[in-house]
Amino acid sequence: MPRKNTRPVRAVAAHVLLQVSEQGQSLGRVLSAAQQQLANSGEGALLQEMCYGCLRWYYRLDAVVALLLNKPLKERDHDVFCLLLVGLYQLEFMNIPPHAVIKETVNAVLAMRKSWAKGLVNALLREYQRNAAQLNSDLEQDEEARYAHPLWMIERIKQDWPAYSNECLNANNERPPMVLRINRQQTDIESCQQSLQAQGIQSDRMEWVDTALRLERAVNVFDLPGFAQGKLSVQDTSAQLAAPLMQLQPGQRVLDACCAPGGKTMHMLETCIPLQMLALDVDSDRLLQVQENLDRAALSAELLVGDAAQPSGWWDGRQFDRILVDAPCSGSGVIRRHPDIKLLRSASDIDDLVRRQAEILNAIWPLLAPGGMLVYSTCSVFRQENEYQIKAFLHDHDDACASVIDAPWGHQCEQGRQILPDHHGMDGFYYARLAKNKLKTDVATNA
């Protein structure tokens, strides 16, 4: 039984933000633990809204606090700062009466044992309530506040995508849609839509992806008819492009080199049966989630704990016909789903990730059979992780050539294809497809 929480939900939200912003923990992990404590209160959804919203708008709310405070709070009072973010977010973005916001946020100070801050929180929230328009206007010249992103990220997106940077940054602050993937081994999209509609769940088909349905509103996955039986799964439209790009044929030996949490592994198995599928991941705990997903859909694959950059520790010497490298990346294309990325990523992380991606590509390439195909993907919008990575790889491997992805979605790059956040309603993703042992010239094929 989860331990019943006695702390006000706003104090819990402030503690979650503290763990993310100061301790560098992921929002998903700390929020899940906090929601378990609130399981009997009915306030789990409110907690989620406040935490996601505060992190989505963190850099703007932080700038507002800086304007309102006469002097910065001491480091030991960062929890009070986080509570101020919670209060400001409610006033600016939530449909809660201002008097209730101020009252409940001030009361949360007592649960945090910071009674000295009661007057401070009350005064700052009331001042914002009175002068919100002027304060927000004063922030327009501050890029971090205007875009609600760290400056290094703003500059990199502007450099990589100058014609689309505003749209990309604004899309990162939007609420993401809930998208389903239909298991066509068990059902069809028409039947699935009818089943959803019978439950009062409206959905729309997604252009170019015949397994995707976007819901008009997010729902609990366990309320989805057929979810428990594996008839459908939750997966963004852009991630559903990986399986078709693999051009799978029955009986092929396939490696999913960085497979957790298993959505793309499942989709490949749903797309083409039978496959000799090896699903590899360096994290044994995350492989348990992959197995749970496969079991739900009655799918089977060989699961193996191993580092894709160190095949000598796990490879049996048999080459693969197809390899998917869904590489570890910055996550800069999925910030609307994971707003904590804005705080948890730094500019120095990108160089480390690029090195890791190159290590994996170089180590995995010998495992691909002659005539085979490797699909490289990230959920990043940074060219350094994407087309520049593939360009460098092709330069160093004479037996590799890029297979042009001829598709109506995304932007054609010098190498591969890039989807920017909310382009065609999708998350930001990059795809490149590499063939082995062909002339080092682009080979046009259909997506």
Q: Which residues are catalytic?
A: 379
DSSP labels, 212-252: EEEESS---GGGSTTTTTTSEEE--TGGGGHHHHT---TT-
Pair type for strands 253-256 and 276-281: parallel
- Euclidean distance between CA atoms 150 and 138, whole angstroms: 18
Please say whether the beta carbons of 118 and 11 come within 8 A: no
Non-local (6+) Cβ contacts of 61 within 8 A are 54, 84, 85, 88, 89, 92
Please count the other Cβ atoms lying within 10 Å of the Cβ belonging to residue 381.
31
- Start-to-end CA distance of the chain, whole Å, equals 49
Nearest alpha carbon to residue 273 among 235, 301, 239, 236:
301
Which DSSP category does 394 fall into?
Answer: H
Q: What is the token pair recorded at 13?
A: 């939200």
User: Among candidates 402, 405, 404, which has minimal Cα distance to 436?
Assistant: 402
Give the three-class secondary structure for 193: helix
118-138 helix and 98-111 helix, angle to the nearest 10 degrees? 130
Q: Are 221 and 227 in contact (CB under 8 A)?
A: yes
DSSP 3-state of 70: coil
Which segments of 297-346 does DSSP mark as H helices, in order? 341-344
Omega into 274 within 30° of 0, i.e. cis? Answer: yes
